[in-house]
Chains A and B, each alone.
Chain A
């Protein structure tokens, strides 16, 4: 157990030392937030509600991104450079590597969520009962599971370039069709219909519901769990296949 904890701790340290992470997962989303609440959508009648709503979108956007990209691309990198090959001849159980990657990443997400929420409060004075803040944060943290699994799947790719290209495209498509950049309602009908069956909308929607004073819908949970299982199965399967050489 202490082995696993240590492995997680090391992952956290490594992510924080990565300047790209800070830029893409913290700086970028916050700049986005400022643009969409201070510049573009200024002076709306329900400004306060929009500010809180969009804060959730942007937090979900950040955590989803680092789940898919930071996790996936780093795994490809460590594999292609040969690091994980060396790990295979150490007593470290193979599963610990994956668990540590996901747990470490999630621990960092707690930090990201706090920073983004805090900046929402500082920039726009977003306020909610403390319970709602915690619920939102918890939802965004746990709801990222299917995206972490997607990161694992990206991690099975062979080349860093392919992995980063593919994951970038999926990330952006998911974010747009899930209504994380702009509300679902203003997207074209077809995109809405498709987006309804993709995980990102349900991820965001859980947090939006909490902001409105409701709870996430059962459907949100079900779809996220379904994608989690799907990505897990595919990534375990393709890893098995790769191992037999």
Chain B
């Protein structure tokens, strides 16, 4: 299968400052990608370059193997930008109808209403009279209007209440189940973990991790095994075990840091150590995220 998105060595400088640096990745059909990162990490800049709205300082972007600004590509993508702005003096349904007319095979109005959960009251309102969250919902509907194969959402749920947010993610999952490819940016770690099939972690303009949420957790998270052990002078042995990253001791309780707790545990039992009160702590993605961010800054 051909990649839907292909970006290579993408770099963007603003007045000599690099906002995005050497970012490369490709996206296969059907993936749900979370572009995760703190404020100013370069998520929006990367997305704007992917859409051809911002010219890269260097590097290349291909959507559906082609130029991102071609009409053929535009007919197959749907976009919700970080700043949702709607044409004023139109009713929501008029605006939606206008957008439908841009595409060769648009979704029907009923379908759009169903997917986004807009009420008929909202449909008949002028766009300038909508609340922030309602505007986002319309922005979402505009992104879906052309029944696109590839969707871009830049921080889609900012300003949505929890009901709207739930509805949004439910729809995204439904769209993904239909085989659509979805890229969204967020700094809500939970969202990325819950929704995405793959997370691309950004920090200071660079990709610092790229993988499934699980992979990310496993490879980037230090998990810990802690237990009590009466024998003394065993710290060196623990340290010498394969996969052990660090050992802490506190009042007879040892904490072994590792990326591979299964393996370390097996080793510990093989060595027939008298372990008591064993606890394994699985980190959450949130920890991984903070951890990564910090580590990158230090190095």
Residues of A participating in the B interface, judged by any CB pair closer than 8 Å = 2-3, 6-7, 10, 13-14, 17-18, 78, 81-83, 85-86, 88-93, 244-245
Contact = CB atoms under 8 A, between A and B. Distances in A.
B101 interface: yes
Q: Chain A CB within 10 Å — which of B51, B71, B81, B85 has the most? A: B85
A88 B53 contact: yes
A97 to B, nearest CB: 11
A10 B98 contact: yes
A195 B35 CA distance: 58
10 contacts: A14-B87, A78-B87, A81-B83, A82-B81, A82-B83, A82-B85, A83-B85, A88-B52, A90-B74, A90-B103
B85 A86 contact: yes
B77 A13 contact: no
A245 B49 CA distance: 10
Contact of A245 (B54, B102, B142): B54
A17 B90 CA distance: 9
B104 to A, nearest CB: 8
Contacts, number: 63
Interface of B: 51-55, 69, 71, 74-75, 77, 79, 81, 83-90, 94, 98-99, 101-104, 142, 146
A42 B52 CA distance: 62
A86 B55 contact: no
Contacts of B55: 244-245
A243 B51 CA distance: 14
B77 A89 contact: yes
Task: Please report whether the interface of chain B is mostly helix, strand, loop or mixed according to DSSP.
Answer: loop
Contact of B53 (A78, A89, A91, A244): A89
Nearest to B68: A89
Contacts of B51: 89
B85 A90 contact: no
Nearest to A82: B85
Contacts of A93: 71
A93 B84 CA distance: 21
Contacts of B77: 89
A91 B87 contact: no
Nearest to A88: B53
Contacts of A82: 81, 83-85
Given A85-B53, A245-B55, A90 B81 contact: no
Contacts of A88: 52-53, 69
B81 A91 contact: no
B87 A89 contact: no
A85 B85 CA distance: 9
Nearest to A244: B55
A3 B101 contact: yes
A6 B101 CA distance: 8
A92 B98 CA distance: 10
Contacts of B71: 91, 93
A89 B94 contact: no
Nearest to B82: A82
A91 B99 CA distance: 10
Contact of A2 (B89, B90, B101): B101
A6 B98 CA distance: 7
